[in-house]
Amino acid sequence: MAQDVAIIGIGLHPFGRHDTLTGRAQGAIALRAALKDAGIGWESVGIAYGGSHDAGNADALCNDLGLTGLPFINVANGCATGGSALASAVAAIRSGSAEFAVAVGFDKHPRGAFNPHPRDWGLPDWYGETGLMLTTQFFALKTRRYMHEHGITEDSLVRVAQRAFRNGALNPQAWRRREMSYAEIAESMPVNLPLRQYMFCNPAEGGAALVLCPAEVAKRYHPKPIIVKAAVVRTRHHGSFEVFSPALAAQQAPAPTVTASRAAFEQAGVGPRDIDVLQLQDTDSGSEIIHMAENGFCEHGEQERLLRDGETEIGGRLPINTDGGCLANGEPIGASGLRQVIEICTQLRQEAGARQVPGTPRLGYTHVYGAPGVSGVTILQR
């Protein structure tokens, strides 16, 4: 049986816009904070995994932290980069490759929407010429279809965003820290309908880092280690409709989020009803709604009632994105998945302050989703 792995150090450089800092500098700040939290030095780290989309190679952090000769593997998996780095670090500890591992990510994106090139993703030029490489358009199309099939209304899209900004206002490290009214969101500028300006996250910058070690020795380094019960990454099957899909298949297949979630629950030996606090990828309001069901936390179409009845609020049965998620924090691709894990660790340590979920949460869940159809899920235990 594989040994348990624990997170003993967390570090975050706040997301947003930081004109005086490079993306790598923000990653270095986060990594130093994680090492301090774990009570170890960089020279003790045996292996590291890190990613950045627009701010250079992550292994350049060795120039900042120290040239110790450790293996540092660059990770690139779209918005699932952070989850992929963590899954790799967990596997390294379980295999006995190192006593201490690091997962780190950072980024610094230009302002405006992401603008990938079709050929970089194995697609013909026409896909970009028709506007489908613009991810806001894809997510709007997918959301519109989902709303039609499952009876979801625009009211739910507004409620997701409203909760995100409400939670962000409680988070001193969030980028967007102002609550927004229902009307502000519902009447904001259309981007790609049914999604409006305040229903999308922003490309951003920031850094996040974790330090891991075998669970059996974790309390030597931190009084509140968090056990990684599952860390799973899955890609798409033929027939699932994902970012940069050039067509809809005649027969649909489950999304990679579905297969990743099921594998994670099986690995952890728990189910959706056991989870006390969770993070779901909210690139936009519609994506979070879809991911609620794809991760097994409700039936398709049930989201409307859960949102209306307040069950996804901090004090509800199913608290989602307690730090404001991507909508309030923005999304630096390399760091975003690790930010999710840091928030769950903070909640399980009961150190979240005004946004702390009530009671004594024991199990947390994180989910990332990235192009061209990659999903990463972790289940964490206090």
Strand 277-279 and strand 72-74: the pairing is unpaired
pLDDT digits over 137-156, tens only?
889 999 999 999 999 999 99
Share of the chain above pLDDT 70, in %: 99
- The string of DSSP codes covering 208-231 is EEEEEEEGGGGGGT-SS-EEEEEE
DSSP codes of every residue in 314-344: TTSSS-B-TT-HHHHH-B-HHHHHHHHHHHH
47-106 confidence digits (pLDDT tens) = 999 999 888 899 999 999 999 999 999 999 888 899 999 999 999 999 999 999 999 999
Look at residue 246 in the predicted model and tell me its pLDDT: 77
* 282-329 pLDDT tens trace: 999 999 999 999 999 999 999 999 999 999 999 999 999 999 999 999
Which CATH number applies to 5-111+200-381: 3.40.50.11540, 3.20.20.70, 3.40.1280.10, 3.40.47.10? 3.40.47.10
- Predicted confidence (pLDDT) per residue in 190-199, tens digit: 999 999 999 9
Question: What is the pLDDT confidence band of residue 209, given thresholds at 50, 70 and 90?
Answer: very high
Q: What pLDDT, on a 0 to 100 scale, did the predictor assign at position 30?
A: 98
Residue 247 has pLDDT above 90, yes or no: no
Quick one: pLDDT at residue 54? 87
Helix 154-168 to helix 285-294 angle (10° resolution) is 100
305 contact partners, CB below 8 Å, separation of at least 6: none
Q: Which of 18-32, 115-129, 346-360 has the lowest mean pLDDT?
A: 115-129
Q: Would you state the pLDDT for residue 249?
A: 84
Which amino acid, one-letter code, is at 221? Y
pLDDT tens profile 252-263? 899 999 999 999
- Choose among 90, 38, 88, 30: nearest CA to 61: 30
Closest CA to 143 of 17, 241, 26: 241
Q: How many residues does the chain have?
A: 382
Strand partners, 12: 208
C-beta neighbour count of 110 within 10 angstroms = 10
**Which residues are within 8 A (CB) of 229 and not within 5 positions of it... i.e. 6 or more apart?**
4, 267, 268, 269, 270, 363, 379, 380, 381
Q: Please write the tens of the pLDDT for every residue from 147-187.
A: 999 999 999 999 999 999 999 999 999 999 999 999 999 99
**What pTM was estimated for this model as a whole?**
0.95
Mean pLDDT over the full length of the chain: 94
d(CA 185, CA 182): 5
Residue 117 has pLDDT above 80, yes or no: yes
> In 3-state terms, what secondary structure has residue 186?
helix
How do the domains of the chain map onto residue ranges? 5-111+200-381
Query: What's the pLDDT at 115?
Result: 75
Inter-residue contact 22 to 108 (CB < 8 Å)? yes
pLDDT at 101: 98
Cα dist. 140→157, 185, 196, 271 in Å? 11, 16, 9, 30
Q: What is the pLDDT of residue 2?
A: 65
